[in-house]
């Protein structure tokens, strides 16, 4: 049984759908009830088994409740994908961000992944078995221009991944991260407006810098998550898998 946070849209939805098509029961969580219910209904429509639970990952009580509901319904929690994330409404230099803007991004992108893990790990330890995959970003390795709080949150998520991998590896839990480059989702569309440009201009500008010449499709990230969530990656722990069409090294 797997839980995917922020599964009501974009990459999270693609992960939830792929997991379900591989036979996993999926707990879809999101702060957006409409999107979350839609994903769960898509899974059920394809003959799968899904439960939607409203959860704002930045709230401890929501995370605790989501894990409780997942275990109540399916008896166990095998896989957690910490995918929920937010971007910044406007691109600007570090000193221009407000305290609120900084706190918000850190509390969802970084604290949220820790909080959901905090409540999922005891369930995994109960069976000495579990897998956590964190959706970071290449922004956590190389700063995204004019997006310091986002980049810092993703760098923190990478260190959260490594810390938990070292602590829990010998107790049956593997923790890995994926660092995507640009992916065609609503977040990428919002990023264009944060940079004060249209999505068309934005993609044109970034496409020139991506050696593969295109943004990723969410399913191309989901397939790597599936690999990290399967026994095929049994010796991977604490890794950061870059899936970015080589933009971060170009
Ligand atoms: P998206 O906006 O399409 O989806 C994000 C989902 O997270 C939404 O359904 C949203 O409601 C949910 N969410 C937001 N705040 C939440 C909260 N507090 N609690 C629970 N759910 C919440 O974006 P996406 O592109 O699919 O992003 C998914 C993840 O991938 C994010 O962590 C993002 O930072 C990361 N990422 C995206 C890209 C990209 O180019 N799109 C690149 C690298 C990494």
- Domains in the chain (CATH in brackets) are 2-181+217-242 (3.40.50.720)
CA distance 107 to 134: 15
What global pTM score does this model have? 0.98
Phi, psi values for residue 192, rounded to 5°: -60, -45
The pLDDT, as a whole number, for residue 144 is 95
CA distance readout (Å), 156 to 30, 58, 83, 153, 169: 21, 15, 14, 5, 19
pLDDT of residue 128: 98
Handedness of CA 4, 228, 225, 242 (dihedral sign): positive
Q: What is the pLDDT of residue 216?
A: 98
Residue nearest to atom 18 of ligand 1 (CA): 56
The whole-number pLDDT of residue 176 equals 99
Contact (CB, 8 A) for 1 and 24: yes
Q: Report residue 159 as tokens.
A: 């260190």
186 lines ligand 1 (CB under 6 A): yes
Q: What is the position in ligand 1's atom list of the atom closest to the CA of 154?
A: 34
pLDDT along the chain (250 residues), means of 10: 98 98 98 98 98 98 98 98 97 97 98 99 98 98 96 99 98 98 94 88 86 97 98 98 96
pLDDT on residue 149: 98
Tokens 């704002």 found at: 56
* Beta bridge pairs of residue 173: 130
Instruction: Tell me, using a 6 A CB cutoff, whether residue 12 lines ligand 1.
Output: yes
Quick one: pLDDT at residue 198? 87
In ligand 1, which atom is closest to the CA atom of 190?
2
Q: Where are the alpha helices (DSSP H) in the chain?
A: 10-21, 33-45, 60-74, 99-105, 112-126, 148-168, 186-194, 199-207, 218-228
Q: Is the CB of 36 under 6 A from ligand 1?
A: no
């Amino acid at each position: 049984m797997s839980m995917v946070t922020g599964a009501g849209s974009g990459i999270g939805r693609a992960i939830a759908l792929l997991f379900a098509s591989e036979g996993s029961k999926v707990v879809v969580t999101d702060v957006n009830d409409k999107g979350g219910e839609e994903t769960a209904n898509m899974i059920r429509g394809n003959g799968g088994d899904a439960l939607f639970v409203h959860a704002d990952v930045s709230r401890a009580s929501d995370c605790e409740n989501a894990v409780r509901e997942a275990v109540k319904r399916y008896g166990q929690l095998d896989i957690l994908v910490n995918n929920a994330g937010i971007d910044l409404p406007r691109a600007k230099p570090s000193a221009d961000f407000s305290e609120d803007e900084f706190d918000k991004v850190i509390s969802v992108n970084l604290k949220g992944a820790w909080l959901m893990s905090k409540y999922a790990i005891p369930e995994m330890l109960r069976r000495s078995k579990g897998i956590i995959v964190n959706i970071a970003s290449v922004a956590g390795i190389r700063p995204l221009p004019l997006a310091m709080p986002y980049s810092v949150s993703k760098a923190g998520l990478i260190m959260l991944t490594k810390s938990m991998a070292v602590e829990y590896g010998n107790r049956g839990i593997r923790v890995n991260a994926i660092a995507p480059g640009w992916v065609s989702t609503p977040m990428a569309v919002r990023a264009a407006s944060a940079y004060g440009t249209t999505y068309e201009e934005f993609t044109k500008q970034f496409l020139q810098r991506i050696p593969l010449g295109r943004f990723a499709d969410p399913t191309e990230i989901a397939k790597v998550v599936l690999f990290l969530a399967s026994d095929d990656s049994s010796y991977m722990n604490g890794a950061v898998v870059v899936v970015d069409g080589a933009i971060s090294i170009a």
